[in-house]
Amino acid sequence: MNEDLILQHGLTLDEFKVIRKYLNRDLSIEELGIFSAMWNEHCCYKTSKKWLKKLPTDNEIVIQGPGENAGVIDLQDNDGIAFKIESHNHPSYIEPFNGSATGVGGILRDIFTMGARPIATLDSIRFGLIETEKTKYLLNGVVNGIGHYGNCIGIPNIGGECEFESTYDFNNLVNAMAVGHVQKDKIFYSKPKSIGGLIVYIGSKTGKDGIHGASMASDVFSEEDEDEKRPSVQVGDPFMEKLLMEGCLELMSSGLIESMQDMGAAGITSSSVEMASKGNVGVCINLDKVPLRQPLSAYEILLSESQERMLAVIDKKNNHKVREILQKWQIDYEVIGEITDTKRVVFESNNKKVVDLPVEIIVDDAPEYDREFYIPRKRKNKDFDFSKIKLEDMINNLLTNLNYLDKSWVFDQYDSTVMGDTIREPGQSSGIVKIHGTQKVIGASTDCNPLYIRINPYEGMKYTVAESYRNLIACNINPLAITNNLNFASPLDPNIMGELVLSIHGLKTAAIKFNTPIVSGNVSLYNQTNEIPIKPTPVIGMVGSNMDLNKINTNKFCEIGNKILILGKQLTKNFSPYLLQDQKITFNICEFNDLEVLDLDFEKKIANCVLELSDLKCIMSCNDISRGGIFSALLKMQYKDMGFKVKVPDPIDLFCEYSAGYVIEIRSKDFEEVTSFLTKKGAEYLEIGEVIKEGIEINSKKFDYFDIMNKYRNDFEKIIS
């Protein structure tokens, strides 16, 4: 083994020395490939796992936390919810259509591998500045890929986020989340239970697509690398995924499967190694029996990431029944090996062992680094000049910024109502679906505040979790648990490593306070191209529920004449980052003041008030206040011919961010009851105005309602075209 070959496989020379010393022999090229796949960041989390271990992952409703294909929480009455979010960033930059499509396919397999039927998907996508043709190409490819895969397989996309910022110019982010329903007594796991069980291959034939995909996702690259990396991107087939999903769910419901694992990153290598590790057993697999699309070497079979493939363990006596069911669904099936008691991973080809390794060295002895990290310096307070800013200019700044415009162009390409259980479609605070045949609803949202986290990773992460929390609360959904996707640049930079460490600490603090444990997730590092790092973008996917779909709040205005109240605490102008950035007061990251400390107890107090008032049917509509402040929240609440008339001490206040911020619409006749309730609870509120017909009025100044709403609803598509 020469040094160049070792480095090409993504291993450091020190890591290779550890392997060589443990085995006390040379490695085959296939074994080197296995370590390349299993010891990269994408599979073993060697940089982040020290810190991930500190996260809260359990409480009274958690059935399965991190470590399985997806997390599962208890929803009473034998109902469980499985969910997870994962990234497909590098593949979606190189091949936006296939990269994003296979990201959706992979996360769906993580869900139905647990025995859960997928009931919803969400996404979090970020791109560079729209002025470049490259960004337009990436945006169109990613949106088409997400829509194509989800629409073809027939799973509704119910929400997400789409934002644009210069640091994503050469490194767009594509995070896909899926939610599934499972009966608690029918959850499946990847841990094999019996020695001698047959290891079976289920799904599409194996090809060359995706080889070295996992290691490619664990490295930085430049634009010049694109063509070289293109073969590492998988190609998906959603129609095969539909057959695979139905076939696997039938096998599970028939009791014919002992354990199952998705062949995701690193393909048959990771799935078989993970099975062996979880079961404390060995595996012996004959690679010559793997169904192939084309002639492949043993090395290529081991590292292929071809899509729509599963590895399962069955009892020998069930072999015939399993084959019959999969033939009905037109799915390739082959017995390729068996579970052994050796605690070794053995792969054979052409009547010889090409891999023979202890599970221990691959999994338990995988590197865990304690990388150097820096804590950001404390920022000096700075006063900004707001004296020359005009209300008209502030409104215009929002309406010419893609991040504030209606994103219907994006989510209209996704089927959000297929399956017939969607209660709230994309574009509102959170997407909501009901559990089929019941009154129970599941709400989910994805959120991140990269600017906040760049300013102060610890406090910024608290704000991010709180925003996802508020998205659910605004819909009268009780937040339950979190899945997270930690997108960062190179951890070899101590500043970026500090962002990762402090963000995880902030996530821990907020999750404990809200009693929303982290049950699944993904870490995506090395998100930088041409040495340009992305802003830290740890995305929070939060899931919650309400047992009665009739109690769900709308986020849209309901009736002309209703009063508009504000709950929560406004961030002061000098400490409202998106106000400063998006109103063009400062763009220099060094000039921002530190974040105000977020009071999580206050967040909980106001949230509980919203939930109680919602259950009492006192709230007609509700929206959380986030980027763009009250004005942006009100704009999103427009419905049919309804506008708003408000009065505030300082118009700039309408554009500031909030903590525990909500806009609520109430009936005039309920005003005294609602305000008395809030006063009794010690909750701050402010009456600012009312819902009016076809108008936008601020401090008695009238604006062109139709012009503003036309720009808000239609300019996104005009700008990107």
Kindly report, residue by residue over 475-510, the tens digit of the pLDDT.
999 999 999 999 999 999 999 999 999 999 999 999
Average confidence (pLDDT) over 553-567: 97
Nearest-angstrom CA–CA distance, 143 and 409? 9
Query: What pLDDT, on the 0 to 100 scale, is given for residue 230?
Result: 46
Is the pLDDT reported for residue 219 higher than 90? no
- Among residues 119, 108, 162, the alpha carbon closest in space to that of 139 is found at 162
Of 40, 57, 18, residue with least CA distance to 507: 57
Query: Residue 227: pLDDT band by 50, 70, 90 thresholds?
Result: low
The pLDDT, as a whole number, for residue 217 is 47
User: What is the mean predicted confidence (pLDDT) over 364-390?
Assistant: 94
Give me the catalytic one of 9, 42, 90, 148: 42
> 622: which 2 tokens?
């509700």
Helix (H) or strand (E) holding 485: strand 478-487
The CA distance from 715 to 721, in Å, is 10
| 215 vs 458: which has the higher pLDDT | 458
Task: State residue 192 phi and psi, 5-degree precision.
Answer: -70, 150
By the 10 Å C-beta count (0-12 exposed, 13-18 middle, 19+ buried), 388 is classed as: exposed
Residues 10-34: what's their mean pLDDT? Answer: 93
Residue 530 binned pLDDT confidence (cut-offs 50, 70, 90): confident
CA distance 244 to 241: 5
Indicate if the pLDDT at residue 222 is higher than 70.
no
CA angle, 404 then 408 then 409, to 5°: 105
pLDDT surpassing 50 at residue 133: yes
Beta-sheet strand order (sheet of 79-87): 62-64, 71-74, 79-87, 173-183, 117-127, 157-164
At 228 the pLDDT is: 52
Is a pLDDT exceeding 80 seen at residue 451? yes
Q: Are 202 and 247 in contact (CB under 8 A)?
A: yes
SS3 548: coil
Residue-wise DSSP of 365-407: TS--------PPPPPPP-----TT--HHHHHHHHHT-GGGS--
- Does the pLDDT value for residue 226 go beyond 70? no
pLDDT at res. 404: 97
Of 598, 568, 569, 593, residue with least CA distance to 580: 593
Is the pLDDT at 224 greater than 80? The verdict is no
Task: Give me the residue label for tokens 């004296």.
Answer: 387
Q: What is the mean pLDDT of residues 139-158?
A: 96
Choose among 307, 172, 169: nearest CA to 238. Answer: 307
From 9, 88, 90, 148, the catalytic residue: 88
695, 388 in Cβ contact below 8 A? no
Using pLDDT thresholds of 50, 70 and 90, give the confidence band for residue 411.
very high
Active site residue 88: yes
Contact between residue 46 and residue 215 where contact means Cβ atoms under 8 Å apart? no
Pairing between β-strand 282-286 and β-strand 344-349 as defined by DSSP bridges: parallel
Given this model, what pLDDT does residue 220 score?
56
Structure tokens at 684: 């701050």
pLDDT of 151: 95
Q: pLDDT of 631-650, one tens digit each?
A: 999 999 999 999 999 999 99
Give the confidence band of 236 by pLDDT, cuts at 50, 70, 90: confident
> pLDDT tens digit string along 461-477?
999 999 999 999 999 99
Does the pLDDT of residue 680 top 50, yes or no? yes
Predicted pLDDT of residue 628: 97
Query: In order of start, what are the domains of the chain with their CATH numbers?
Result: 553-721 (3.90.650.10)
Q: Residue 461 and residue 506: Cα distance in Å, rounded?
A: 5
Are residues 310 and 260 in contact, defined by beta-carbon separation less than 8 angstroms?
yes
Average pLDDT estimate for 276-294: 95
Residue 272 has pLDDT above 60, yes or no: yes
What are 203's strand-pairing partners? 309
**φ, ψ for residue 29 (rounded to 5)?**
-65, -30
CA 624 from centre of chain? 20
**CA–CA gap between residue 257 and residue 276 (Å, rounded):** 16
Q: How many CA atoms lie within 13 A of 363 on its CB side?
A: 21
Summarize pLDDT for 63-117 with one digit per residue, the tens. 999 999 999 999 999 999 999 999 999 999 999 999 999 999 999 999 999 999 9
Per-chain mean pLDDT for the chain:
94
Helix (H), strand (E), coil (C) string for 211-269 = CCHHHHCCCCECHHHHHHHHHHCCCCCHHHHHHHHHHHHHHHHCCCCCEEEECCCCHHH
